[in-house]
Amino acid sequence: MIHASKAWLARALPSPFKPFVSRWRDHTSAPADQFCHWYLNGEHVGHLDTAHVPRLLRAFDECGLNCVQSARGVDCTTVANQQALSAALMTAGNMARAWGLAPGWRNEEQLLLNQRGEILAQAERALFKTWGLRSRAVHVHVENHQGMVWTGVRAHSKHENPGMLDNLAAGGIASAESVERALWRELEEEAGLDSDDFEWIKPMTPHELVLSRPLLYGGWHHETVILFHGQLKPNHRPCNRDGEVGAFQLMPPKACIEAINAWQFTPDAALCCALALTTTE
C-alpha cells in the first residue's frame, strides 16, 4: 500500500503533471499545523482540529472514552468491544453534529480500521473527516474505445467540491460492503452501468493509495483509495441514477491533463486520472 505524499507524486507522475503535483497537500502542508494526532488504546487513528479539541474531549468523556491531552496529541483508552465502541462513537458524533462540527451527515456507516486493516468500530461517514479517521473509497477511471476519458461533473447540490470534474464513478465503501460490491454499486448509481457495458475493467497499478491531508474547508481527509481502470463497449454511455452527477463529458487525454493542472478535478479524481493516463501513455 502506497502513501500518496507529495514526494511520491513527484516520482510517480511525469513532468506534464508538475503544476498539479506542486499544489498537492499532504501531512507536511501548512494547514496540518492546526491538527493534533488522536490515539485510541495507543494506536494512531485520526487527526483532530486543535480548535475543536476542548469540545471533542467533552464528547469523548460523555460517551465513556478516557482521554488525556498531551504534547503528542489526544490519547483515549477504552475496554469497549467493537459494538460498544461503535455506540460510543455515535454518541460523541451526535454531540459533534449538534455543535455543527460534522457537516454532510449521511446516516451511512463506514468501518474504522487500524493501521493493520483490522476493524475497530463503525462510525457515521461524516465523522471520518471531522476526526481524521481512515476510511475507504473506490475510484474508477473509464475510457471509450477510442481512448477518450469519460468524466462526470459533480452536481452543485454536493456538499464537497460541487461542480468540479470527477471520475465516472467514485464513492465511499460502506461498513457492510466488499470492494467489488462498492465498485459496481457506484457504477450503477452514478453512471447507470453494469459489467455488460464494459469491454474490460481491472485494478489499476498502483491499486491502493493512502491519502492523508488537511482539508482547506475544515477537517482531515485520511482515506485508502482503491483504483480501477475500465473501457466501455462502443455505443455504451453513462446515465446518472442518484442525482449526484450533473453531467457527463468525453475528454481527450490532453484536455484531462490541462484540467488536472488547472485544479478543475477533485484532488482524488485528478490523481486517479493522472495515474491512469500515465500508465496508458
DSSP notation for 164-206:
-EEESEEEEPPTT--HHHHHHHHHHHHH---GGGEEEEEEEEE
Q: Are 267 and 24 in contact (CB under 8 A)?
A: yes
Name 47's Cβ contacts closer than 8 Å, sequence gap at least 6: 32, 35, 36, 37, 38, 131, 132, 212, 214, 220, 222
Query: Please, what's the b/e burial string for 28-51 (b: 16 or more CB within 10 A of its CB; e: otherwise)?
Result: eeeeeeebbebbbeeeebbbbbee
**Per-residue model confidence as pLDDT tens digits over 140-160:** 999 999 999 999 999 888 878
Q: Which of 4, 278, 280, 279 is nearest to 137 (CA)?
A: 4
- Please give the model's pTM, rounded to 2 decimal places: 0.92
The whole-chain average pLDDT of the chain stands at: 94
Q: Which of 178, 270, 193 is nearest to 231 (CA)?
A: 193
Share of the chain above pLDDT 90, in %: 88
Quote the CA–CA distance of 118 and 111 in Å, as a whole number: 9
**Per-residue model confidence as pLDDT tens digits over 202-246:** 999 999 999 999 998 889 999 999 999 999 999 999 999 988 899
Quote the CA–CA distance of 29 and 124 in Å, as a whole number: 27
Q: What domains are defined for the chain? A: 2-28+135-280 (3.90.79.10), 33-131 (3.30.750.160)
Q: Are 273 and 170 in contact (CB under 8 A)?
A: no
pLDDT less than 50: residues of the chain: 281
What pLDDT score does 281 carry? 47
Report the SS3 class of residue 96.
helix
Quote the CA–CA distance of 167 and 155 in Å, as a whole number: 13
What pLDDT score does 280 carry? 61
Q: How many residues in the chain? A: 281
CA distances from 223 to 15, 45, 115, 214 (A): 26, 12, 12, 12
Residue with C-alpha cell 468540479? 164
Q: Are 175 and 125 in contact (CB under 8 A)?
A: no
Runs of H (alpha helix) within the chain = 6-12, 18-23, 53-62, 82-98, 127-130, 179-191, 253-261, 267-280
Q: Are 155 and 162 in contact (CB under 8 A)?
A: yes
Q: Are 188 and 204 in contact (CB under 8 A)?
A: no
